[in-house]
Copies of this chain bind each other. A is one copy, B any other.
Amino acid sequence: MDKKSVETQELIIRAAKKVFAKKGLAGARMQEIADEAGINKAMLHYYYRSKDGLFEHVFQEAVIKLLRPVAAFLADDSELFQKIRNLCRHYYSVLSEYPFLPNFVMNEVNMAPERLLKMMEIEGFVEAKENTVQKINEAIQNGVIRSIDPRDLILNIVSLCVFPFVSKPLTEKLLFAGEDVDELLKNRADRVADFIIASIKLK
């Protein structure tokens, strides 16, 4: 395996991520990806047969990166409140590094929902979910938290973690006009966890 070879492939992937994230599959141009990578257009097809092939590669990585925190949360065997804190921190650290991820994934899934099915070998997901639902129900019966639909709670947690990044282009112009949004998002993880726990905890 050549050294230059893998280096070039990395350049391509990095550039493809950037362009696809901003323009989407339909809006991205192969020439733009090549320019962004500082290499020739022919090389794109040399390593990745087609635009779709390149996209598939990038998209798969994005989905995994976005869903791994949830899977980890669901599988985590800590105490419930600690699980929630872990997920919030994990999500915020991942999304601070890749703020484009949620928008990119959501949008492309919306464009072609069947694409997601191709990567549902992210299994263990369903079982882990059932496990967490159980755990939440136990917490309710033990009087640790108030009564709430476990799926509702999970959706609330994910919403609070992910949406601020999805909506950043909007909020930074409307809600946070003139302020440093990144700075505001920085320590949000713990505040969000507190917000959730405050809502469900029985004192």
Contact = CB atoms under 8 A, between A and B. Distances in A.
Contacts of A188: 152
A89 to B, nearest CB: 17
Nearest to A26: B27
Nearest to A125: B174
Interface SS of A by simple majority: helix
B109 A175 contact: no
Contacts of A167: 106, 158-159, 162
A137 to B, nearest CB: 16
A14 interface: no
Contacts of A192: 156
A106 B26 contact: no
A154 to B, nearest CB: 6
Taking the full assembly, how many copies of this chain does it contain? 2
A120 B173 contact: yes
A198 interface: yes
Given A27-B111, A152-B195, A156-B160, 17 more contacts: A24-B27, A26-B26, A27-B27, A67-B174, A70-B174, A103-B106, A107-B107, A116-B169, A146-B198, A149-B191, A152-B191, A155-B175, A156-B195, A158-B167, A159-B164, A166-B166, A198-B198
Task: Return the 8 tightest CB-CB contacts between A and B, nearest first.
Answer: A26-B27, A199-B199, A159-B163, A163-B163, A26-B26, A107-B107, A198-B199, A109-B169
28 contacts: A24-B24, A24-B27, A24-B111, A25-B27, A26-B27, A27-B27, A67-B174, A103-B106, A103-B107, A103-B110, A109-B170, A110-B169, A116-B169, A116-B173, A117-B173, A120-B173, A129-B175, A146-B198, A148-B195, A151-B175, A152-B188, A155-B164, A155-B171, A158-B167, A159-B159, A159-B163, A163-B163, A195-B199
